[in-house]
Amino acid sequence: MRIRVYPEPILLQPAILVKSVTKELREVVRKMIDVMYSHKGVGLAAQQVGLDKLITVFNPDPEREKERVLLNPKICLSKGNVEVEEGCLSFPGIYGRVRRASHVLVTGMNLSGKEVRIEAEGLLAQILQHEVDHLNGILFTAKMTPATKIQVQRQLKQLEERYRKAQGD
Ligand code: CO
C-alpha cells in the first residue's frame, strides 16, 4: 500500500458504502493500520491508500494497538468552533491552521458489523472530521484559515508540479 499524495485524483473522489465485513475487508483494514503506524499518522482514510471504500482507521493515542476502525462513518451532530493545527499524510511537509467543530457525534459500523456511535471532542473530534472529510473527497486544505491558505500556496504548487512531472515520465 502506497500513500497517495496530493493532487492524485483518487483523493478527490467520494468513497463508496461498505455493505458487509468480508475477510478481504479485514485484510485491507489490517494493512491500513500498518501504513498509519509506519507513517506515524493518527488517522488514515481509504482513498489515501488508493481505495474507494468508506473505511477509516485512527488512533489519537500514540500507544499501539488502541487503534479503531470505522466503516461508513457519518457526522450526525457537530457543535462549537475551534481553530487547530493540522497536517495530512497526503500533504507531506504541509501544516496549518484549520477550522473544525469542537464536538462531534459520529455514527458508523465496526468490524463486527455493529453500529457504533462515537461522541468526541479535542483531538479525536478533529481526527474524525479530517477522516470523514477524506472519505467524502474533501481535503484539509479546504478547511484552512485564509492566512494559512496563502502560506501553503507555494508548497501546494510544488506538489502539483511534482505530480505533473511524474505523470509525464
Ligand atoms: Co489526511
Residue 49 alpha carbon to ligand 1 centre in Å? 11
As a whole-number percent, the residues of the chain with pLDDT over 70 amount to 98
Residue 48 alpha carbon to ligand 1 centre in Å? 8
Residue 123 alpha carbon to ligand 1 centre in Å? 14
Residue 97 alpha carbon to ligand 1 centre in Å? 14
Q: pLDDT tens-digit profile of 38-59?
A: 999 999 999 999 999 999 999 9
**Are 131 and 44 a contacting pair, CB within 8 Å?**
yes
Give the model's pLDDT for residue 64: 66
Q: Nearest CA to 47 among 110, 1, 95?
A: 1
Q: Is 131 a catalytic residue?
A: yes
Amino acid at site 120 = A
- Beta-carbon contacts of 77 under 8 Å, excluding residues fewer than 6 positions away, are 103, 104, 105
- List the catalytic residue out of 63, 131, 160, 161: 131
Q: pLDDT tens-digit profile of 76-130?
A: 999 999 999 999 999 999 999 999 999 999 999 999 999 999 999 999 999 999 9
Residue 65 binned pLDDT confidence (cut-offs 50, 70, 90)? confident
Bridge partners of 75, per DSSP, are: 106
Residue 50 alpha carbon to ligand 1 centre in Å? 13
**Are 81 and 145 a contacting pair, CB within 8 Å?**
no
CA distance 36 to 30: 10
